[in-house]
Amino acid sequence: MAKVVIIGGGWAGCSAAITAKKAGANVEIYERTDMLIGLGNVGGIMRNNGRYTAAEESILLGASELFEITDLCSRHTNLEFPGHKHASLYDVTIIEPKVRKLLIDMGIEVHFQSRVVDVVKKDNNIKAIKLHDNSLVEGDIFIETTGSTGSMGNCLKYGNGCAMCILRCPSFGPRVSISHKAGVEDILGQRKGGSYGAFSGSCKLNKDSLSPEIQEKLNKTGVVVIPLAKEDINHDKLNMKVCQQYALTEYAENIILLDTGHAKLMAPFYPLEKLRKIPGLENARYEDPYAGGIGNSIRYLSIAPRHNNMRVRNIENLMCAGEKAGLFVGHTEAIVTGSLAGHNSVRLFLGMPLLELPRNLASGDLIAFANEEISTTDGLMKRYTFAGSDYFTRMKELGLYTTDSKILESKIDRLNLLNIYDDKLI
């Protein structure tokens, strides 16, 4: 019986758990904090631009469960906001329990407040992982989905210090790079200017602290765009961000708010005094990070070199997904890579050839393209997301972008990959 141990219960870890379970393995997730979906608790943006294609591809490949939940929890659908079409915004305040219930009902074992700090290796094979209380957990295949953000020392060195974000490092302890502990050096992303990492791209304001007009507009239409006074416009700040898909001029010249349950402010951070000068935001306060007035968490500090089948290089039995697997941005990207990693973890156990998603699917192309680019200097400064920036342009050029699931269905059927993630391998 295959035992798949997943380190990190974010979107990537949850999707890996689901496909690994469906393929027939015993699955255990070890999550550092007391909640699942990690940054998904402060995210919310789905199906915008190329993510629509990627979501439909995933569903047709057989990984529909998490998309069903995000669709179900959406406060707004088919939304247009600067640079983005047909987006869905899910309600971050209600989503985590639904994901938790799904996993538990599927028989996936979830261990909370279980921080993994080390590995036990024999040659190039991981025998067990070590938790912060020194206990050991054995497994056959390990999947690392610990993300690439923080911890406090990194946020200080490469950012503005700990901003008290959802990752809650002071309370739950810092993330540990498992691949690094296993002897594989991390790759660090860069931003313009050569410094490492990038700021998380958005923060959240407490909706109740905004003016009634803004609250109403957010609830009704999902988006509020407030032009900034000329003297407050700063284009350079866009380079700091992880989320280059929101690094358009519109985002420097306006305050853009999206309704994801809280008011998502599409800027990495914004000094509170300046924020409160904006009409409607006079009493605004931050929901996440708590110190969003001074900074935000720093991402991309710990990417594992990997193959396109999500296996980490030079370790026989370690897979990775999500931000751990590349300079990816977004929940959809985490779910796409996670689902593949989970399915392949069982193939790996059985000695079957691992699946690589074909490059005529956006999902397959993103995974492969990001991998090619990360070995170049320029590539380290770019971000890879179906939602925008360079990659969405590439999707359109390659003819991969479509919102027509019928086209995708016949494509995936021809590739013989329809519902491949539903196959019980054991």
Indicate which single residue of 35, 73, 79, 162 sits in contact with other proteins (rule: CB under 8 A): 162
Task: Please tell me the distance from the alpha carbon of residue 342 to that of residue 332, in angstroms, as a whole number.
Answer: 15
Structure tokens at 236: 């350079």
Closest CB 156 distance from other proteins, rounded Å: 5
Q: Is 128 in the site for other proteins (CB under 8 A)?
A: no
Nearer to other proteins, 62 or 197 (CB): 197
Q: Which stretch binds other proteins (CB under 8 A): 21-29, 54-62, 145-153, 231-239?
A: 145-153
Nearer to other proteins, 123 or 273 (CB): 123
Q: Is 188 in the site for other proteins (CB under 8 A)?
A: yes
Q: Which stretch binds other proteins (CB under 8 A): 156-164, 258-266, 286-294, 403-411?
A: 156-164
Indicate which single residue of 82, 161, 280, 358 sits in contact with other proteins (rule: CB under 8 A): 161
Q: Which stretch binds other proteins (CB under 8 A): 16-24, 111-119, 201-209, 351-359?
A: 111-119
Closest CB 333 distance from other proteins, rounded Å: 24
Q: Is 168 in the site for other proteins (CB under 8 A)?
A: no
Closest CB 151 distance from other proteins, rounded Å: 5
Nearer to other proteins, 47 or 181 (CB): 181
Indicate which single residue of 71, 96, 118, 390 sits in contact with other proteins (rule: CB under 8 A): 118
Q: Is 196 in the site for other proteins (CB under 8 A)?
A: yes
Q: Is 32 in the site for other proteins (CB under 8 A)?
A: no
DSSP-derived pairing of the beta strands 74-81 and 84-90: antiparallel
Q: Is 132 in the site for other proteins (CB under 8 A)?
A: yes
How many Cα neighbours within 13 Å face the side chain of 185?
2
Give residue 198's identity as a one-letter amino acid code.
Answer: A
DSSP-derived pairing of the beta strands 3-7 and 26-30: parallel
Q: Which residues contact 418 (CB under 8 A, 6 or more apart)?
A: 60, 61, 62, 409, 412
Indicate which single residue of 6, 108, 119, 374 sits in contact with other proteins (rule: CB under 8 A): 119
Q: Please count the residues of this chain forming the interface with other proteins, following the rule CB under 8 A.
A: 30
Q: Is 124 in the site for other proteins (CB under 8 A)?
A: no
Closest CB 223 distance from other proteins, rounded Å: 36
Closest CB 381 distance from other proteins, rounded Å: 17
346-348-351-357 Cα dihedral, nearest 10 degrees: 90
Q: Using CA of residue 266, residue 392, residue 380, residue 326, what is the dihedral sign? A: positive
Q: Which positions lie near other proteins, rule CB under 8 A?
A: 117-121, 132, 150-154, 156-157, 161-162, 169-170, 173-174, 176-177, 180-183, 186, 188, 196, 301-302
